[in-house]
């Protein structure tokens, strides 16, 4: 049936996430993995500064479980591959259960400079600054990008950011509230995922 292939991934995903230290993934959702249909582009916060575009994707498990199975598996594998670095960064930042986000800077002009530490998150009236950054791109350490070149990293923030509510992403005096739309999409998808999982459970047990 339609979600059979997705279900095959669930066992693998559980294994992948099980070996990631608890400091990396916050608040496990009750939503089953393998039933989501959202794309990363659907929930990535994007906004432009004069020289770079900024993209922010929360990696909380209750968010990425609602993405399409292949995307969820890819992100889970990424987190697993950087587990040691994330654990070290969390320890240096003094947080046991940090909020994890993927941040990408994209150059829109030649020799575009970016300042990683200036990206902040405001949630529930509180300002959060990164307590740790784990680079994913070789270009990250130069803090400079050519036009259309990108650099990505995993950002760690202190616990307290609520991905189930509105939040604001800010960089060098510019801000985006685009996550408000993402919250609505995630709420809608959460309800659909529950319905899909319940329907499949009925089929598995031979219910009419």
pTM of the full structure = 0.83
Query: For residue 26, what pLDDT band results from cuts at 50, 70 and 90?
Result: very low
Q: pLDDT tens digits, residue range 96-108?
A: 899 999 999 999 9
CA angle, 199 as apex, 182 and 192 as ends, to 5°? 10
Q: pLDDT tens digits, residue range 75-86?
A: 999 999 999 999
CA torsion sign for 69, 140, 93, 165 is: negative
DSSP 3-state percent helix, strand, coil across the chain (nearest 5): 40, 25, 35
């Amino acid at each position: 049936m339609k979600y059979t292939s997705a279900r095959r991934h669930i066992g693998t995903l559980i294994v992948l996430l099980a070996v990631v230290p608890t400091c990396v993934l916050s608040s496990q959702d009750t939503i089953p993995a393998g039933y989501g249909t959202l794309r990363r582009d659907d929930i990535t916060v994007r906004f432009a500064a004069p020289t770079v575009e900024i993209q922010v994707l929360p990696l909380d498990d209750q968010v990425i479980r609602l993405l399409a199975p292949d995307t969820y598996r890819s992100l889970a594998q990424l987190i697993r591959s950087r587990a040691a670095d994330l654990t070290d960064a969390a320890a240096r930042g003094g947080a046991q259960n940090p909020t994890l986000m993927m941040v990408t800077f994209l150059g829109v002009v030649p020799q575009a400079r970016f300042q990683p530490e200036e990206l902040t998150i405001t949630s529930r009236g509180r300002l959060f600054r990164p307590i740790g950054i784990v680079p994913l791109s070789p270009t990250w350490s130069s803090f400079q990008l050519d036009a259309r070149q990108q650099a990505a990293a995993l950002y760690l923030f202190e616990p307290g950011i609520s991905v189930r509510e509105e939040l604001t992403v800010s960089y060098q005096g510019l801000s985006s509230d685009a996550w408000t739309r993402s919250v609505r999409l995630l709420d809608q998808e959460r309800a659909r995922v529950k319905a899909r999982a319940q329907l499949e459970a009925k089929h598995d047990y031979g219910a009419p």
